[in-house]
Amino acid sequence: QVRLVESGGGLVQAGGSLRLSCAASGATFSNLATAWFRQAPGKEREFVVWWSDGRTSYRDSVLGRFLISRDNAKNTVYLQLNRLKPEDTAVYYCAARYGSPGFSVREYRYWGQGTQVTVSS
């Protein structure tokens, strides 16, 4: 059973940075397509970025500000959030699946519990 655990969220002022972590057990990230999603209050969960076989794809609104990376030794995926804006406020979720990456929630089988990111103006 694949288990994902996120950490690293918090409260930050606009323009600040945070680094989110997603640690996996039960599988190695090198065999998985991995993604980050986020869900703001009252809104649907939305795609942020995916990583698969060294390829990445970012949501337009975070391109150039967010960066996904992976530490194979720690079996952990990171999401570096830079130049944060109030509209980035959301619960951020790590997700994974075997096979090709996707952009929709329903394509991912494994999910973490989420970590809250709050950006104050």
pLDDT tens-place string over residues 38-55? 999 999 999 999 999 889
Q: Where are the alpha helices (DSSP H) in 1-121?
A: none
d(C-alpha 108, C-alpha 6), whole Å: 16
Closest CA to 3 of 103, 100, 107, 75: 75
Residues 17-37 have pLDDT tens digits of 999 999 999 998 888 999 999
d(C-alpha 121, C-alpha 111), whole Å: 30
Tell me the two tokens of residue 17.
């940075």
Quick one: average pLDDT of 79-83?
Answer: 98
pLDDT at 81 over 90: yes
Average pLDDT, the chain: 96
Supply the pLDDT for residue 70: 92
